[in-house]
C-alpha cells in the first residue's frame, strides 16, 4: 500500500505493506504513534515498525524524535534496541526496529514476581551498559521504566496541572515545559530465552541530547520512576536516569516500585520523608549488603552520588 494512502487510514486492521515490510498486527498505540508487528517480505524476518504521525508532534516531541533517530542510527550495542531502517511518507515516519520476542520487563515482573538477586544484578549490569552508551553520546533517556503506561493508575493528570498552578502562584519565573510521558513503545524489552535473557533499552521518544555542564528543564517521564529534582521542577542532567535505574532495581528485588503516592506531591513527600528504602522484611535478610547499598545510593536524593556509583556498578 502507498505510504500516503496508508497514513490516512491509521486504524486499518488488515495486513498492509510499507517498503519491504508487511505490517501484520498492531502491538501498541498512542496519540502520536502506532507500533506494528511486521515481517520482512524478502527474508521472513520479524521486525517492529513504529509509525509516527508527524502532524501530531509538538515541538518538544519533534525534537525528541530527532534525538532518537540520530542516536539509534549511530549505535550498535546489544543492550540498545536496533534501528534497521527509516521510511518516510508525506505525513508519517516509519522506524523499522528489531523485534524482541521475549516481551518486556514489566510483563516479566508480573509473570514471575520478584527476581533472584543474581538475575537482578545481571539485568542491571545490562541496563547500566546501555546507559553507559547513552552517556557517551550525551543522551538522557528520561523515561526508563518497566511499565508500559506513562501514567500509573494512582496518578490523574489533574495532579500535574495542580503543580503547575502552584508553581505559577509562588514563582516569579515561568515554569519549565511540562510533558507527561505517553505510551509509545515499551521501554525495556527482552530478547532470548528465560535462561539467557538480554535486556534492550527502547523507546527514546522522550530522550534528548545534553552537553556536559548543561541542564534540562522539561518535566517528562513516569512519576514512579522520576527523580525528585524532576518532580520538583528543578533543572537536571543525565543523573536522573540513575534514579530510574535504582527504582527498577528495587522493583526487580521486591516486585513493586520503591515509592508510591496518589498524586505527584504525595509521592515527592514520601520520597523526602523516607529514611530508608521500604524493602520487604522477608526479602531484606536474603540480599547481599552491597546490593542494598547500591539500591540505596542510586535512590539517593543527592544525585551526585548516583553517577559515580553507576560506573562501579556497570563494571562490577
Residue of 2, 143, 196, 203 marked catalytic: 143
Cell of 63: 525534537
Measure the N-to-C terminal CA separation of the chain; round to a whole number of Å.
50
Q: From CA 29, how far away is CA 182, in angstroms rounded?
A: 10
Going 29 to 99 to 131 to 210, the CA torsion angle's sign is negative
- Please tell me the distance from the alpha carbon of residue 266 to that of residue 268, in angstroms, as a whole number: 5
Grid coordinates belonging to 2: 502507498
Buried b (16+ CB within 10 A) or exposed e, 228-243: bbbbbbeebbbbbbbb
Of 301, 227, 300, 297, nearest to 264 (Cα)?
A: 227
Give the side-chain half-sphere CA count within 13 A for 1. 16
Angstrom distance (rounded) from CA 121 to CA 252: 9
Question: What backbone torsions phi and psi does residue 190 show, to the nearest 5 degrees?
Answer: -120, 140
**Do 309 and 302 meet the contact criterion of CB atoms below 8 Å apart?**
no
What 3-state DSSP class applies to 279? coil
d(CA 262, CA 241): 23
Q: Which of 147, 149, 144 is nearest to 246 (CA)?
A: 144
Q: Are 259 and 271 in contact (CB under 8 A)?
A: yes
Can 293 be counted among the known catalytic residues? Answer: no
C-alpha span between 182 and 64 (Å, rounded): 13
Spatial neighbors of 158 by CB under 8 A, at least 6 apart, are none
| Catalytic residue set | 143
Amino acid at each position: 500500500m502507498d505510504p500516503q494512502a496508508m497514513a490516512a487510514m491509521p486504524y486499518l486492521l488488515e495486513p498492509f505493506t510499507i517498503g519491504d515490510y508487511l505490517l501484520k498486527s498492531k502491538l501498541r498505540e498512542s496519540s502520536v504513534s502506532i507500533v506494528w508487528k511486521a515481517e520482512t517480505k524478502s527474508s521472513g524476518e520479524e521486525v517492529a515498525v513504529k509509525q509516527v504521525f508527524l502532524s501530531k508532534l509538538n515541538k518538544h516531541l519533534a525534537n525528541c524524535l530527532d534525538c532518537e533517530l540520530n542516536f539509534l542510527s549511530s549505535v550498535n550495542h546489544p543492550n540498545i534496541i536496533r534501528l534497521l531502517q527509516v521510511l518516510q511518507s508525506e505525513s508519517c515516519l516509519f522506524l523499522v526496529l528489531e523485534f524482541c520476542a521475549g516481551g518486556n520487563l514489566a510483563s516479566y515482573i508480573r509473570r514471575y514476581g520478584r527476581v533472584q538477586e543474581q538475575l537482578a544484578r545481571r539485568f542491571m549490569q545490562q541496563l547500566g551498559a546501555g546507559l553507559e552508551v547513552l552517556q557517551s553520546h550525551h543522551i538522557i533517556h528520561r523515561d526508563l521504566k518497566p511499565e508500559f503506561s506513562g501514567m500509573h493508575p494512582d496518578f490523574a493528570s489533574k495532579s500535574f496541572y495542580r503543580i503547575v498552578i502552584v508553581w505559577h502562584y509562588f514563582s516569579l519565573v515561568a515554569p519549565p515545559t511540562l510533558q507527561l510521558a505517553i505510551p509509545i513503545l515499551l521501554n525495556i524489552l527482552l530478547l532470548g530465552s528465560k535462561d539467557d535473557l538480554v535486556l534492550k533499552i527502547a523507546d527514546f521518544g522522550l530522550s534528548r541530547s545534553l552537553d556536559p555542564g548543561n541542564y534540562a528543564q522539561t518535566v517528562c517521564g513516569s512519576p514512579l520512576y522520576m527523580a525528585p529534582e524532576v518532580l520538583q521542577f528543578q533543572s537536571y542532567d543525565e543523573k536522573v536516569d540513575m534514579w530510574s535505574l535504582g527504582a527498577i532495581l528495587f522493583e526487580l528485588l521486591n516486585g513493586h516500585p520503591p515509592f508510591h503516592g496518589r498524586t505527584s506531591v504525595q509521592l515527592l513527600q514520601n520520597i523526602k520523608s523516607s529514611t530508608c528504602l521500604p524493602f520487604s522484611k522477608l526479602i531484606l535478610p536474603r540480599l547481599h549488603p552491597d546490593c542494598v547499598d547500591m539500591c540505596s545510593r542510586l535512590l539517593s536524593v543527592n544525585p551526585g552520588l548516583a553517577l559515580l556509583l553507576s560506573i562501579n556498578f556497570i563494571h562490577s
